[in-house]
Structure 1
Amino acid sequence: MTKERVGFVGLGLMGRGMARNILKKGWPLAVLAHRSRTAVEALVAEGATEVSSARALAESCDVIVLCVTGSPEVAAVVDGPEGLASAGKPLVIIDCSTSDPAQTMALASRLTERGITLIDAPLSRTPKDAEAGTLDVMVGGAPEIVARVRPIIDCFAGRVVETGPTGTGHTIKLLNNFLAMGYATLYSEALALGAKAGLSPQVFDQVIRGGRMDCGFYQTFFKYVLERDRNAHQFAIRNALKDMTYLAGFAAASEFANPLGAAVRNSFAGAVGAGKAEDYVPMLSDFIAEANGVSLVPKD
């Protein structure tokens, strides 16, 4: 069976591992530089083809995987003057970003009129899982389209959950990130309050680790807190704020009171306002601690 030609945009922390797995598992792959050339050059050396524009990518491919930041970036790649849609040919676009569900559904509706099908397939887990091909993927789309592209998604996924129509993948992803960023905020405030009372992060960890409140997110968060490993959880605070802002919009559109979401968002907004946008999420703990006049770093 001839494999469909796959294009990839967004070769960042997650995307480069995903694209490499698609290529390693035998799919013809074309790539477009988005922010950095490092991953593009590595993939070309491994057998991928580079193209110069989103339009050229669409012209040479059947299925396009997007792994960019959010809705504005997706719209720019798809609807821009030299965007994917400008090629004027049928395509399936797999949007692996974390986007606003309302914007995803509106874009999908517009693209249908042009013979392009958009499905949402946001991700969970870490860049290490992207490299290993063991990401969790939440897929929203028509069953027949999901079945068509499932072999491509399986290249980088360890677990796939089909969530329903297009837009439901991005909805459940926002709820997933609400839980994760909620944990980050809780951990940060609990650590700072503990430090005020003279309790170290090490003592905190001895109580939590291995108990009912332990989880994978806790472990990567505390790998930074305890070991100061900046790369333990590579998800930027600016992206956390972006996702919680999408959640606020989703709640407002649903006429749903979301006070906890507002509190979580404000924690990240405060960090971004203080110049911490490019820090990773576990570093929120330092921001909260410093704002309360304590430090989580052991004294020499």
Structure 2
Amino acid sequence: MNENGNRIGFAGTGKIGLPICLRLRAAGHTVTILPSPRARGVLADELAAAGCAVARTGAALAARTDILITCLPSSAEVETVLTGETGFFSGLSGRQGILHIDHTSGDPDISRRLAGEWRALGGAFVDAAISGTPDLARSGTLKLLCGGTPELLERMQAISKAYASEVIPAGETGSGHMLRLIGGLMGYGMAMLSSEAFLLCAAAGIAPGRLKAMITGTGADSRTFQAMSAAEIEGPNSAARRKLSLATVAKDLDALTAQARQLGCGIPVAETIAGRVAQAAAQGGAEAAISDLTLCLKAIPADAAQE
């Protein structure tokens, strides 16, 4: 393995972060990982076997990093990695030129603020939201939705080409995370429409397979509809089950509607979907995934669904 690549610091080795790290190592980059508190400083076996190193604090990570990549659940956790008592910023010691690539499902407002903090420190920030799955990360074919200047995106792609095959420049800082929220609405909306259609089928005594047969191949068909159909027809153990949590979907929709209000853009349909998803997430609890949406909605009394 070529060891003449970049020194990369990485925070967030979850389902997508882990295969990204493996792809970076295979491309010859040095990868030092800041483990989550839950990991207690221990790397996953795959990462250890690939030769990834460990830094115990953000400050220690900064001393060994030229490119920082974060792939965390929220922008709040990114801020903690950067600005905590022993955070990344505290270990910079005046070093400049570091590029921060943020693959987190982030908040556009926080991304813009962090970009300003990086500029003040002589570094740079790109919000590069991920569109894709862990399998696509392993095959190196993720899609990145990016906010930043063309020069920064070119610098990012020298690294991201190891795990992403497509980069969509969305605009200025924060636009990558905003585009992900907007794109998510399209999928979440189809999931909600599919679930309510199956609820109507059940109420009318129509087998769900009949709806699937009618929609398949038409303009209303989509991968989301097919996944929701599989969960409805085959049950919770369907191989097509989508595991994205309803709590995450609710968080994304809340962030999107907040952004729309700031922009003065009326999106009443999206706000209705957000409210309905929030009800389903509360009904289903922490373990409920988007493929459980129909079951969660079915358990909500009809009068409560109208609130």
Equivalent of 2:106 in 87, 94, 99:
99
1:219 corresponds to: 226
**What stretches of structure 1 of length at least 5 have no aligned partner?**
294-300
2:305 corresponds to: none
Q: Cα deviation per residue 1:167-202 (whole Å; 9 max; x = unaligned)?
A: 110111110011111111111111111111112222
**Partner of 2:68: helix, strand, or coil?**
strand
Q: Cα deviation per residue 1:64-120 (whole Å; 9 max; x = unaligned)?
A: 111111121111111111111111233211111121211210121122101221110
* Mapping for residues 155-234 of structure 1, pairs under 5 Å: 155-227=162-234, 228-229=236-237, 232-234=241-243
| CA-based RMSD | 2.0
User: Does structure 1 residue 235 correspond to structure 2 residue 260?
Assistant: no
Quote the Cα distance in structure 2 between the aligned partners of 1:152 and 1:175: 26
Quote the Cα distance in structure 1 between the aligned partners of 2:17 and 2:230: 23
* Mapping for residues 50-69 of structure 1, pairs under 5 Å: 50-69=54-73
* Mapping for residues 7-46 of structure 1, pairs under 5 Å: 7-34=9-36, 36-37=38-39, 40-46=44-50
User: Does structure 1 residue 276 correspond to structure 2 residue 285?
Assistant: yes
Quote the Cα distance in structure 1 between the aligned partners of 2:301 and 2:199: 7
Q: CA deviation at 1:60?
A: 0.4
Q: Cα deviation per residue 1:127-162 (whole Å; 9 max; x = unaligned)?
A: 222222221111111221211120221222132111
**Partner of 2:201: helix, strand, or coil?**
helix
More relative contact order, 1 or 2 (CA 8 Å, 6+ apart): 1
User: Does structure 1 residue 150 correspond to structure 2 residue 157?
Assistant: yes
Higher alpha-carbon deviation: 157-166 or 115-124:
157-166
2:275 corresponds to: 266
Higher alpha-carbon deviation: 246-255 or 213-222:
213-222
**Partner of 1:184: helix, strand, or coil?**
helix
* Mapping for residues 286-297 of structure 1, pairs under 5 Å: 286-291=295-300
Quote the Cα distance in structure 1 between the aligned partners of 2:81 and 2:227: 32
Q: Residues 138 and 161 of structure 1 are in contact (CA less than 8 Å); yes or no, is this contact kept in structure 2?
A: yes
CA gap 1:62/1:230 in 2 versus in 1, 3 angstroms: farther
User: Does structure 1 residue 251 correspond to structure 2 residue 228?
Assistant: no
Quote the Cα distance in structure 1 between the aligned partners of 2:233 and 2:37: 32
User: Does structure 1 residue 110 correspond to structure 2 residue 114?
Assistant: no
Q: Residues 6 and 30 of structure 1 are in contact (CA less than 8 Å); yes or no, is this contact kept in structure 2?
A: yes
Aligned residue pairs: how many?
293
**What stretches of structure 2 of length at least 5 have no aligned partner?**
303-307
Quote the Cα distance in structure 1 between the aligned partners of 2:115 and 2:248: 23
Q: Residues 126 and 234 of structure 1 are in contact (CA less than 8 Å); yes or no, is this contact kept in structure 2?
A: no
Percentage of matched positions with identical amino acids = 27
Quote the Cα distance in structure 1 between the aligned partners of 2:126 and 2:110: 12
The ranges of structure 1 where at least 4 consecutive aligned residues each deviate by more than 6 angstroms after the TM superposition are none
Quote the Cα distance in structure 2 between the aligned partners of 1:44 and 1:173: 32
Quote the Cα distance in structure 2 between the aligned partners of 1:30 and 1:10: 11
Higher alpha-carbon deviation: 241-250 or 125-134:
125-134
Quote the Cα distance in structure 2 between the aligned partners of 1:157 and 1:223: 29
